[in-house]
Structure 1
Amino acid sequence: MEIFESIFSMNMLMITLRMAVPLVIASIGSVLCERSGIINLGIEGMMLIGAFGAVVGAHFTGIAWLGVLTGIIAGGLFGLIHAVLCIKFRTNQSVSGVGINIFASGLTIVLCRAIWESDGSSGSVAQISNVTVPGLSQIPILGQFFEKQSPFLYLTAVIVFVSWYVLYKTNIGLRLRTIGDHPKAAATAGVNVTKYRYVCVILCGMLCGLAGAYLSVDQSNLFVKEMVAGRGFMALAATIFGGWNPAGSLLASLLFAFAQGIRITVDLALPQRILQMVPYLLTLVVLIVFRRRAQGPQAAGDIKD
């Protein structure tokens, strides 16, 4: 009974929402990228460089939000690298993504040692403060969503709505979805396919950088090597499970975050290592089961147009 109450509690809900933030943001970036026809397996690395960039920015400026901006820029630069390799030089997209992950992992360790003389972590930096929304925080029960919450939580909601609206309610979204399925038809209709792809891949990198910044200057106040810890791959799984739809990615990310929350809040008579595996096992199951059933952008990975 106590376990049931722990799982279905307001505390569990709030933990799930906080843990879903980086997954949702990165998954939205993945949706935009793959809708343009570019596969991105480098989400993990882009999130990692964003987390590191945010700490570096906060370290040198003393302002956490400038650190977030630095993280976004760092992620965008890695997105640009992926875009140039895949679009201009037509490198194998999967290889490029894996290469970005490896490059980000090594680069952050080298730079961490250069700046803080440590291979494992950075020094402490300024941290994003929680906010309380006046008035709304006084609402019974629902007021907890607006009291001492991360501003990233509200920013994530805005990103989900804006991306869904643009993708399904505007001409830009229609063109983007056409590019993902029939790039030659889009080009024939006068759409600059290359431009759309560059913008989407860079936006993906920026969103991944934002997601990484959340981990380093909001959830904590320092950078730790490999601190993304597989969340990039969870975000990719959420993209597939969510049907390459921002709303679907939100729901899938909440599911993965819920699995992470169970490990933290529920006292189960299982070894800790088994509990730590739950979110990743769920990710594997989703990829195996839904990858075959899901119908993604038909031209994803194909840039022969």
Structure 2
Amino acid sequence: MASSNFVDYVKIFARSGMGGAGAMHFRREKFVEFGGPDGGDGGRGGHVILRGSTHYWTLLHLRYNRHWLAENGERGGGAKMHGANGKDVFIDVPLGTVVKDAETGEFVTEVTESGQEVILCPGGRGGLGNWHFRTATNQAPRYSQPGEDLKEGFFILELKVLADVGLVGFPNAGKSTLLSVVSAAKPKIADYAFTTLEPNLGIVSYRDDRTFVMADIPGIIEGAAEGKGLGLRFLRHIERNSVLLFMVAADSKDIAAEYEILLDELRRYNPELLDKGRLLAVTKSDMLDEELMGEMVQTLPKGVPHIFISSITGYNIMALKDMLWKAINE
């Protein structure tokens, strides 16, 4: 895992710029005896801004650049000259990034759209120059405002994959094979558990040039909600999916029991996941005949649309796409 390019969790430090102080200055010109105050305002401190970008799909670029510091605003000058604003700092993040306060764990913000900008640490406002404080009874104020203080803090950035369909199943249920068949994604495939160690996204082509996004999530095991296996690290990616496709192999001892274990893990992690659309695909069905499929239907979970598929032979793959497209648009 240390060599993986997929990083979905990182801690950063961000600090905005301090506002520039307002100027305390008086107009001084030949033949102008009482020029009056003309101190300009200080510049705003730079913001630290999160910006959604489709050019990133992981937080890897933030692992080696964890300190983000914006510039301070400059002081105001005479002749009502406004101090320059501090330069803003932009942190480009992949869509689906959630930000939490590192100390309290409280939700701060999230970025879900390309080009979306969210101010993480606002820069301090510049102070007012002394010309703002002139009055009829105090025509020569000898004071101005200091700049507003900066904001800083440690933040946790978590990535939750954005996809229309999330594949849910035990390790070696055929999730990666399905993704490789219906899209151009090339996930690692092998005949042993936990082949997939990071989420893989694929764009699935559908009828009339329509498409939808499918995510292959690392396999779930019993106890994942408590952190067993890859546990909580990848369960959060399911939260972003519109539809969940449960996948159980045809050679399973009890398909309904495996489905209930998977469902229970999602329920224990986040009960709201049960509100998503659910489908059941019985994979590796090329080993079954029509008669055996008919018998197995009686043992499948009730109330969940199901389909028998084989990614190797292509059996019912188009029918599965039809079911997924309907579920997504419902």
**TM-score (normalizing by structure 2):** 0.22
Structure showing the higher helix proportion among its residues: 1
Q: Which of structures 1 and 2 has the larger relative contact order (alpha carbons within 8 angstroms, sep 6+)?
A: 1
**TM-score (normalizing by structure 1):** 0.24
Structure showing the higher strand proportion among its residues: 2
